[in-house]
Amino acid sequence: MIGAGLAGTEAAWQIAQAGLPVRLVEMRPVRRSPAHHSAEFAELVCSNSFGALSSDRAAGLLQAELRLLGSLVIRTADDYAVPAGGALAVDRGRYSAALTAALEQHPLVQVERREQLELPDAGEIAVLATGPLTADQLAEQLRDFTGRDDCHFFDAASPIVAGESIDLNLAFRASRYDKGDADYINCPMDRAQYLAFREALLSAEQAEIKDFEAESAHFFEGCLPIEELARRGEDTMRYGPLKPIGLWDPRWGDVTDRDVRRANRAYAVVQLRQEDKDGRLWNLVGFQTNLKWGDQKRVLRLIPGLADAEFVRFGVMHRNTFLESPQLLEPTLQFRQRPSLLAAGQITGTEGYAAAVAGGWLAGTNAARLAHGLAPITLPPTTMAGALIQFIATAPCSQAGSSKGRFQPMPPNFGLLPPLAETIRDKRRRYGAYRDRALADLEATVLEASVLQLTQ
């Protein structure tokens, strides 16, 4: 098992739970990646949120499926959840420490802290879950093995500020439309403040993109740097992470009074999400950035309530590597040219934490089945996990050397699921029907996967 991120942690656990010894190779702390800050397993590097909790949302349905499948990573996320409105967010440090301890203490898991410099031998059953920050030498081996060298994009992480440095005389606590508890800190802007902030973003200096020419970089649309959003138009940020709709500070007056609401509503709102159990750390939601650190401090302190912000972590940008999976992987996550080698997580082209866990569960389960002499399984295409993995294994993609039809990472979304037997126009009811069908269809897979327990 190569890599102890979200996918690797889940895969290693499933293999060990199937009664098989597993060597888990993790390069940290011997070598650190540009985005990681600790040596713990399953470190969350971009956000501490797994997305919406509600199972009639794409991310929430994927979480529900993983609970049904017995995912260690999602169960631990539930154990270390922190308030985040309708989302599943975790205390980042305690969460990763708990998963590290679970694997290090498992009698069938042998942890090796070293850098894996080459692909495993063809005779070994192995899972590659090195993530989007695969080390250079192994990435070179992977390019030679697959014959592909054009799969990368750039990803940027958001800054984190100390909670005690946020001015709550200007900011206020609330969740959008008052759903759930007031779990977010909101920094409202009037039009003049917003335009000045946007202009500062546009004029700020970006850090150099290492190892690649800047003009060759392309971003995953779901994780664009805030300065890139600012460049796309005056109102782009206001319809994205700075959307003010549904956020109201009671100090502005009665929200039910139309005249009061029209006179006092914010032009834009920056939201901060809690990073830890005690509320000492707060993440600027949607503020992935590649600005130089000095400019980050200067520009972000223009946000009302953050004039004296203490930055615990500045935003960083790094290269993400992913496979041209439609040409390389089966829906079982086995490499077509070497079925004993499987891949999981973001390196396969899935996007998002829960999606990485789903890939880890399937790759780990199938690696164990191969070792037990059983046929590998696929997940039902009516499930969010199954549809996502089916997509990455079958999506149209470019031929080597061509940028036309380039395969891009895909997050969980209902558009991946096959149509329902009957048309349901109401979106909430339709998504609920997708959920009911997915969880029902997943029951058979749970029973099939449990055959592993009978072979011990």
Residue 274 is predicted with a pLDDT of 87
Six token digits for residue 287: 């503020």
Q: Would you say residue 454 has pLDDT above 50?
A: no
Residue 214's CB is within 10 A of a number of other CB atoms, namely 10
pLDDT, one tens digit per residue, over 274-323 is: 876 778 889 999 998 989 999 999 999 999 999 999 997 888 776 667 88
Q: What are the b/e assignments for 29-38, b being 16+ CB within 10 Å?
A: eeeebebbee
Q: Where does the pLDDT of residue 437 fall: very low under 50, low under 70, confident under 90, or very high at 90 and above?
A: very high
Question: In angstroms, rounded to a whole number, what is the distance separating the alpha carbons of residues 292 and 233?
Answer: 22
Residues 158-168 have a mean pLDDT of 91
Strand bridging mode 334-335 / 317-321: unpaired
Angle CA 273–237–405, to nearest 5: 105
Six token digits for residue 254: 């009665």
Residues 257-284 have a mean pLDDT of 88
- pTM > 0.85: no
Question: In angstroms, rounded to a whole number, what is the distance separating the alpha carbons of residues 306 and 168?
Answer: 9
Identify the burial level of 26 via C-beta atoms within 10 angstroms of its C-beta, where 0-12 means exposed, 13-18 middle and 19 or more buried. Answer: buried
Residue 410 is predicted with a pLDDT of 81
Maximum mean pLDDT: which of 32-46, 327-341, 399-413: 327-341
The residue that leads in pLDDT, 99 or 83, is 99
Residue 313 is predicted with a pLDDT of 82
Q: Would you say residue 238 has pLDDT above 90?
A: yes
Residues 147/400, Cβ–Cβ less than 8 Å: yes
DSSP state letter for 400: T
Domains, the chain, ordered by start: 6-151+322-454 (3.50.50.60), 160-319 (2.40.30)
Strand bridging mode 334-335 / 160-162: unpaired
Residue 446 is predicted with a pLDDT of 83
Q: Would you say residue 270 has pLDDT above 60?
A: yes
pLDDT over 70 percentage in the chain: 87
- Of residues 322, 386, 396, the one with CA closest to residue 359: 386
pLDDT, one tens digit per residue, over 345-363 is: 989 989 889 999 999 999 9
